[in-house]
Structure 1
């Protein structure tokens, strides 16, 4: 969960990272070493090149390495070592050319120079007239490889989210016209603009090279951007600002963002589309003049910032005809090559820096230290199997290039060293860092798939155009010279050739007319499209004006928030001072609290001892009372059992009377004689005492209990459906249906004779008892001559084994018995019809 910077109280979820193909193959970081030649006035050399991959460091005279005061010679190995006699061409062939080749084939790359100030990093990256460095040679190789296959300007267009869009030919044409009218862009150095004299003859024609395996069925476009990281702030060196002589406006810093693929990019950075190496050089030098440099004691033009030159190559396949770029954004492949010239680490004591230079040197050293920390953490995670968090965000340099170390492309580093003895101590630190860096492994980038259209589309289209050009030429006329008056061959041959030419001419004219009509319709459609585009442009301009107003309001809001932030910082300082005072008071109170806690611990100990003594006395008293209570309870239980036996005898007599009266009214089989089980003692509450018990009242002549007739009885005729599995529960209220046809399974003959239907269904209730449901319905005749039953009501008969207690009034005192004679509960039915429940007799 992340927090919004504009509204801190709002939170949003991090978008899910899209699944990218994982390559288990890893390559170590390619680290190369280049030794700068000594100047004329420098006498002592501390570096010796032993082989093409190894160098040896010698401690200068007077420099003690170990505690015994002895000199120490150390050797360091690299992927390749370039001595003082190595040319810029050889360095480019080994270091940068593989990265450029990967760039053309859709893979990313990162190359940066590292070393002490004055070690030749800028010369290695940029070069000089006649000795072009890695950057101009990379640009030259790119345009030599994709020159014939470049798309027209503004066909590829960058968006604000590190993506690439494709425009049609009409949109690109309108964009070119608008840019040429408003913001003219130099197309080639052959135009009226003059080339910077420092760019002349950077690369000789003999040194030009090109990549192999360029996809000829794709269209390419190159975009470049140039930024610098100064005092841990990012500035765009290509941003065009209006210079105010009276009050110059400082450049605005940029921020880093993540795109939808979680790749880091500089938001709002200007990306210039270039069509030639010369134009790219011109853009580079325009930004190079804005870079922060200063004169120090060690270097006349020392870089005070890290510069990053980004070359972005957009590639998209051609359509099936091989004429235009395929209008599918998903088929666009974007790869980039970052060339980084890191500022040199320096010590303020040697450079003699003061004021602003000290702050610049501190920020440079801090960013380089953070780069070392990230490399060390990566190395430790890979070698020891740990999972420590790499502190990429501590510096803008590492935060910008963290995707490369996570497997987005190849990483290479050129370590530049100065062999003079004064730089020995700092060179030793650089060598240790380089040795550790080449132990870090980076995942190998995955090959990106290419659009699966028919190969050779561009060549086929070109051959077709050449064939059309050949058709435009008419066949030559044969010789028309007559040497013989009786020659009957020449004139017919000439006539046939003229007829053939006439026929071809008519065919060409018909094709021309068809093409002209098609072109007219296309032009008319284009005019309508242009009008709609112009209206759309006007609408977009209005929206841009509104957006500008919003931006101005946002800037004013930002200024207000900055002022508020300063005020909050001032308040924080006051709060910090107050917090310090409170902390002092807290310490004194804590000491007093500790003394009181010690005193309280002693008192608690005494209290616990007293409680233990009291617990012993209480337990003894409790034991005595428990024995006394048990004796009294036994006596009370014996008395209650005697009283319950007397009541049982009385209830037996009452039951005999009730059974006798029932048997005289309706001859039923005698009930089962079984002694009622006495309920548990805890379920029957003790009876209340009475002054003097009296005999039971005399019963009257028993009256025959009347059956309650079920609602099923009536004038209608019923089908009584009773399954064979039904059980007779022996309840009092049983349904009596006169004139009913009883069946164990319904049939058409029984249904045709009756008007009503009842089904006896038994099931086990939730309390474990069996209950009977009477499901009633009406028999309806159907159109086909059959019968259908429509259910209208349900009655429930349920037998319950209860532990209820019946009450008998004896001398105005309530006595409870464990037996119950009969309990009936009537319930009103639902809206579907009346219903009731029958509770059975339980002994």
Structure 2
């Protein structure tokens, strides 16, 4: 269980809003201000209705960002210097006013450097009214005939609206009119300030289409400014208002308390729908465009302005004028407003005049002005940061937190960027060369803002009553009830007016009684019909009850069937899962089977190959053995014959290697797995035999021989003797310099031309060794020993392997 902090109200979850996946980009428009002096250098050129081009002024150095001297920027619409206020309103603000009347919110703000024409675009001048007065005029032109009486709609101080009856509204009007300090004037235009008179030409008036005639409307306005990141109510009484004389209803003004009371900053709060609003801000109900604009002008005079080098009346704060429209449907008869707060629709249009961004070096600001400029630039920087993060979240799919709370401007309007209404921005630019660098920054911000998309607002639900109730009820009254004649008495002896008035009232009373009787008849008839319907309904209820019982039984059967179906589906899924497992296992086994079969086939092939190699080797070795045996047999026979013919035995000649002598050798024979019993082996007397290089052995010898044995390509074993000399190094060590390689190889030759001596041939006498005898011996001993080697024949050889070759 989660415990809640003491003294804190639990946060209410936001209401579920209708989902709407449609989004619209922020509408960004550009308006170019005319140059103040004709000969002044211009750095902005309008290329088309949607594109402008910036030209770098003479002497301007390209900054570190690499800005080109000519850069183009595109907008939804570009308004040149010749565009009128009416054209600008028709294209930008009129759709927002239409949405306001149809229950949708809107936000429109002007942005630009100081002196770019933002306030003129928003407010205008006499004869050239800006967006604000034209919006008010269009609203009242559209809902004028359908306005509710004053105080029927009443604010609940929590950003909502209450509806009270006309009687309560009448009592509140009387109470407030009695407390008015100044008597009312008959004409509202007499109270207008001359500076704001005739802001709009009647020929330029607009009116919204498709206004709901079965609803009643009321307009509330409020005006605030955000100065140094504090919110102040411009319609609240300040010190200047407190010291002015007040009317007490008589002819003598009464001076109020003149003690200085500084204005209190307001705070932002969140309503039950999680929309931000300014708590404690005055919301004044107005009934005409003149009255609303008069209230705006009263707050405009309190706005913080200052004289700088860039602008004689530079705005030092962000101003927000809020137009709130409350509307509620009429009842079924079309006479009174429906007394249901849930049916009240509240929409608002915020018109924001942002303070201009500026560099303190150009404005020459000091002291308070520097702090004001810093706060203005900081709030605009935070607006830029929020726009950048919104764009990054939408384009990259990230979910970064947007820092709305870092500034009052962004915190107040966070709901609009979250999808509570349309957002539009008018970028005002001054084409003079001195503003070129700041204008580039404004263009970048505007270009980035166009890439942010806002969720499209959802249409409000329409009341379920039949349309046309107001007009139908009014026509019914005019048709049935006769008009009341004039009751003005100009003569005390007038005997005509009163009787005529009495007669008209009697006729109206008679008609009223007839209408009541008809109404009662219709009501009785309707009651009878309802009773019959009730009886039918009762019988139908019984039938329905029986059918409901059957339906309950059928539902039980259906539920049982559903349970059985679910059980079978689960069983089917389980069987399918088992089948999948078995199929996967079968695939694995088949793969293993193929692998093992391939491996078995490979092994069989290798075994067959080895067997064939073995058979070939056996055949070859058998041939070699038989040949060798045959050769030795012949040689033995030859030697036997030779020694039988000669009396003196022949001493074997021992051939010495050229390496024998005073030199001492290192006989390096590495360990080998070859069978060396039939291979010629070098025999080196007094040699030091080693199986691995040894420094100690090298220090005692002069020559070095390395024995290397391997199987040749023909299958015979051959021996390589790698010879070298041991030399002394400068460091006192020994090194081997190889100089020669000898190769010993065993070859088998066939013995031919050998002839046996017949037993009939006699032997020569002892000591008679003629040439013929030696020739015969050489013929019979036709096998000689031969060694093939390279140069520098060194060691002698032990005849384990004999190379036999027939002599020519």
* TM-score interval, smaller chain: 0.5 to 0.7
Q: How do 1:573-592 and structure 2 match up within 5 A?
A: none
- Is 1:267 paired with 2:266? no
Distance 1:184 1:224, change over 3 A: farther
Q: Report deviation, 1:43.
A: 1.2
Q: Matches of 1:2 and 1:369 in 2, distance apart?
A: 40
Match of 1:34 among 26, 31, 36: 31
How many equivalent residue pairs? 485
- Is 1:44 paired with 2:44? no
Taking structure 1 as the reference length, the TM-score comes to 0.55
Distance 1:459 1:77, change over 3 A: same
Deviations 1:630-684 (A, max 9, x none): xxxxxxxxxxxxxxxxxxxxxxxxxxxxxxxxxxxxxxxxxxxxxxxxxxxxxxx
Q: Matches of 2:123 and 2:204 in 1, distance apart?
A: 16
Q: Report deviation, 1:450.
A: 1.1
Q: CA contact under 8 A between 1:3 and 1:11: conserved in structure 2? A: no
Q: Matches of 1:287 and 1:179 in 2, distance apart?
A: 22
Q: CA contact under 8 A between 2:242 and 2:258: conserved in structure 1? A: no
Tell me the equivalent position of 1:446. 458
Tell me the equivalent position of 1:93. 90
- Is 1:210 paired with 2:220? no
Residue ranges of structure 1 left out of the alignment (5+ in a row): 474-501, 517-843
Q: How do 1:716-727 and structure 2 match up within 5 A?
A: none
Q: CA contact under 8 A between 2:123 and 2:130: conserved in structure 1? A: yes
Q: How do 1:797-836 and structure 2 match up within 5 A?
A: none
- Is 1:462 paired with 2:474? yes
Q: CA contact under 8 A between 2:481 and 2:511: conserved in structure 1? A: no
Match of 1:252 among 264, 282, 286: 264
- Is 1:15 paired with 2:12? yes
Q: How do 1:186-335 and structure 2 match up within 5 A?
A: 190-191=187-188, 194-241=191-238, 243=242, 247-335=259-347
Match of 1:351 among 353, 363, 369: 363
Tell me the equivalent position of 2:420. 408
Tell me the equivalent position of 1:433. 445
Q: Matches of 2:55 and 2:149 in 1, distance apart?
A: 56
- Is 1:77 paired with 2:89? no
SS where residue 191 of structure 2 aligns?
A: coil
Q: How do 1:444-593 and structure 2 match up within 5 A?
A: 444-470=456-482, 508=508, 510-511=510-511
Q: CA contact under 8 A between 1:257 and 1:265: conserved in structure 2? A: yes
SS where residue 17 of structure 1 aligns?
A: coil
Q: CA contact under 8 A between 1:53 and 1:77: conserved in structure 2? A: yes
- Is 1:376 paired with 2:388? yes
Deviations 1:264-317 (A, max 9, x none): 000000000000000001100010111000100110000000000000000100
Q: CA contact under 8 A between 1:109 and 1:410: conserved in structure 2? A: yes
Tell me the equivalent position of 1:168. 165
Q: Report deviation, 1:428.
A: 0.1
Q: Matches of 2:65 and 2:318 in 1, distance apart?
A: 40
- Is 1:336 paired with 2:348? yes
- Is 1:397 paired with 2:409? yes
SS where residue 410 of structure 1 aligns?
A: strand
Q: Matches of 1:186 and 1:23 in 2, distance apart?
A: 51
Distance 1:438 1:167, change over 3 A: same
Q: How do 1:607-622 and structure 2 match up within 5 A?
A: none
Tell me the equivalent position of 1:362. 374
Q: Matches of 2:209 and 2:133 in 1, distance apart?
A: 19
Q: How do 1:695-734 and structure 2 match up within 5 A?
A: none
Deviations 1:515-553 (A, max 9, x none): 99xxxxxxxxxxxxxxxxxxxxxxxxxxxxxxxxxxxxx
Q: Report deviation, 1:322.
A: 1.0
- Give the RMSD, CA atoms, in angstroms: 2.8
Q: Report deviation, 1:194.
A: 2.0
Distance 1:453 1:513, change over 3 A: closer
Distance 1:157 1:515, change over 3 A: farther
Q: CA contact under 8 A between 2:482 and 2:508: conserved in structure 1? A: no
Distance 1:416 1:467, change over 3 A: same
Q: Matches of 1:192 and 1:55 in 2, distance apart?
A: 42
SS where residue 441 of structure 2 aligns?
A: helix
Q: Matches of 1:82 and 1:260 in 2, distance apart?
A: 40
Q: CA contact under 8 A between 1:219 and 1:325: conserved in structure 2? A: yes
Q: Report deviation, 1:469.
A: 3.9
SS where residue 279 of structure 1 aligns?
A: helix
Q: Matches of 1:228 and 1:152 in 2, distance apart?
A: 30
Distance 1:256 1:174, change over 3 A: same
Q: Matches of 1:458 and 1:70 in 2, distance apart?
A: 63
Q: CA contact under 8 A between 1:189 and 1:195: conserved in structure 2? A: no
Tell me the equivalent position of 2:177. 180
Q: Matches of 1:333 and 1:68 in 2, distance apart?
A: 50
Distance 1:227 1:467, change over 3 A: same
Distance 1:219 1:138, change over 3 A: same
Q: Matches of 1:10 and 1:472 in 2, distance apart?
A: 63
Distance 1:10 1:209, change over 3 A: same
Q: Matches of 2:186 and 2:69 in 1, distance apart?
A: 55
Q: Matches of 1:127 and 1:79 in 2, distance apart?
A: 23
Distance 1:343 1:96, change over 3 A: same
Distance 1:297 1:235, change over 3 A: same
Q: CA contact under 8 A between 2:110 and 2:427: conserved in structure 1? A: yes
Structure 1 window deviating more from structure 2 (391-400 vs 58-67): it is 58-67
Q: CA contact under 8 A between 1:264 and 1:403: conserved in structure 2? A: yes
Q: Matches of 1:159 and 1:282 in 2, distance apart?
A: 24
Q: Report deviation, 1:181.
A: 1.1
Q: CA contact under 8 A between 1:3 and 1:10: conserved in structure 2? A: no
Q: Matches of 1:19 and 1:98 in 2, distance apart?
A: 27
SS where residue 96 of structure 1 aligns?
A: helix
Q: CA contact under 8 A between 2:309 and 2:363: conserved in structure 1? A: yes
Q: Matches of 2:20 and 2:351 in 1, distance apart?
A: 25
Q: Matches of 1:446 and 1:187 in 2, distance apart?
A: 42
Structure 1 window deviating more from structure 2 (119-128 vs 236-245): it is 236-245
Match of 1:423 among 426, 435, 444: 435
Q: Report deviation, 1:248.
A: 1.9
Q: CA contact under 8 A between 1:188 and 1:275: conserved in structure 2? A: no
Distance 1:165 1:133, change over 3 A: same
Distance 1:173 1:455, change over 3 A: same
Q: Report deviation, 1:362.
A: 0.4
Q: Report deviation, 1:321.
A: 1.3
- Is 1:64 paired with 2:67? no
Distance 1:206 1:263, change over 3 A: same
Q: Matches of 1:293 and 1:423 in 2, distance apart?
A: 20
Distance 1:88 1:13, change over 3 A: same
Q: Report deviation, 1:503.
A: 12
Q: Matches of 1:223 and 1:152 in 2, distance apart?
A: 13
Deviations 1:391-435 (A, max 9, x none): 000000000000000000000000000000000000000000000
Distance 1:70 1:195, change over 3 A: closer
Q: Report deviation, 1:243.
A: 2.5
Tell me the equivalent position of 1:488. none
Q: Matches of 1:397 and 1:505 in 2, distance apart?
A: 61
Q: Report deviation, 1:13.
A: 2.9
Q: Report deviation, 1:468.
A: 2.4
Q: How do 1:658-677 and structure 2 match up within 5 A?
A: none
If asked which structure has higher relative contact order (CA below 8 Å, sep 6+), I would say 2
Q: Report deviation, 1:22.
A: 1.9
